[in-house]
Amino acid sequence: MNLEQLFETPKPVIGVVHLLPLPASARWGSDLEAILERAEQEASALAAGGADGIIIENFHDAPFPKNSADPATVSAITLAVHRIKQIVVLPIGINVLRNDARSALAIAACTGAQFVRVNVLTGVMATDQGLIEGQAHHLLRYRRELGADVAIFADVLVKHARPLNSPHLTAAVSETIERGLADAAILSGWATGEAPSYEDLEVAKAAAGDTPILVGSGTTWDNIAQLLQAADGAIAASSLKRNGRLSEPIDPTRVRQFVEAARLEPIAPVPPSTPTRELSSL
């Protein structure tokens, strides 16, 4: 797919709106309007700071179900997307955690969102929710049935998980794209706030061919320009929040600083920081 056509920039910065605990989650606080207002504020902060796109996800619903979110959760996310679309014109993506890609696709199709993020599209991952199996076949058929022009951004060796069969990174990227038919692939570190290594991004990009590779976690204004030398875009959350804390709201000043840093030319190569998945997965 052509990221520049969707986001109107060659290497987009996509900010994340972490919805407060939704109905049916363990920490649901019985005030849906407050959740929607916070979502509007965060989307506005991303737009004001210069982000190129937004992902809306139920991040604060942990602990998550494995595959199917509660209907009340799906309904609340749909309301949030609808409200946000009234105030920003940026491309919007949906991620229903942990891996309810079918609901994410349905929300996108009904609200006019442009893409979904799928944590496990192919393969089997051992996670804190148990074993999650990719359902690429069902998801791609469902997209066809809906007639939805919605792109699928799929994680490769998603964070907070380990592959059951420890695949080689090159093979995992190739299978996600060639067999899972992902429109873009996402490479993250091992956990929230951890970046993938520059070397892993280079390996993933080589394996992806013409399919875009996005950095899925751990980007800061210190490393973003460098990482984008090997990647085609970035998804950012923690770095954009007040004081860099996940529990805080998005700070438009931090968004602006991050976007400005992403547009800079790096002044030196990124030194190796963590073991690459190409080596550690062998």
pLDDT digits (tens, 9 = 90+) for 138-179: 999 999 999 999 999 999 988 888 888 767 899 999 999 999
277 or 63, which is more confident: 63
278 has pLDDT over 70: no
Instruction: Show Cβ contacts of residue 151 under 8 Å, excluding neighbours closer than 6 positions.
Output: 1, 6, 114, 115, 116, 183, 184
End-to-end Cα separation, the chain, in angstroms:
30
Parallel, antiparallel, or unpaired for β 184-187 and 130-133?
unpaired
- Cα dihedral sign for 223, 55, 127, 35? positive
Q: Which helix (H) or strand (E) holds 187?
A: strand 184-187
pTM: 0.92
E-assigned strand segments in 86-164 = 92-95, 115-118, 124-127, 130-133, 151-155, 161-163
pLDDT digits (tens, 9 = 90+) for 55-113: 999 999 999 999 999 999 999 999 999 999 999 999 999 999 999 999 999 999 999 99
pLDDT digits (tens, 9 = 90+) for 226-276: 999 999 999 999 999 999 888 899 999 999 999 999 998 765 555 555 555
- Cα dihedral sign for 233, 77, 103, 18? positive
Query: What average pLDDT does the segment 167-196 reach?
Result: 91
Q: What is the mean pLDDT of the chain?
A: 92
Instruction: Show Cβ contacts of residue 98 under 8 Å, excluding neighbours closer than 6 positions.
Output: 64, 65, 66, 67, 119, 127, 129, 132
Ordered structural domains, the chain, with CATH: 3-280 (3.20.20.70)
Q: How confident is the model at residue 197 (pLDDT cuts 50, 70, 90)?
A: very high
Instruction: Give the bridge partners for 93, in sequence order.
Output: 55, 115
Rg (CA), the chain: 17
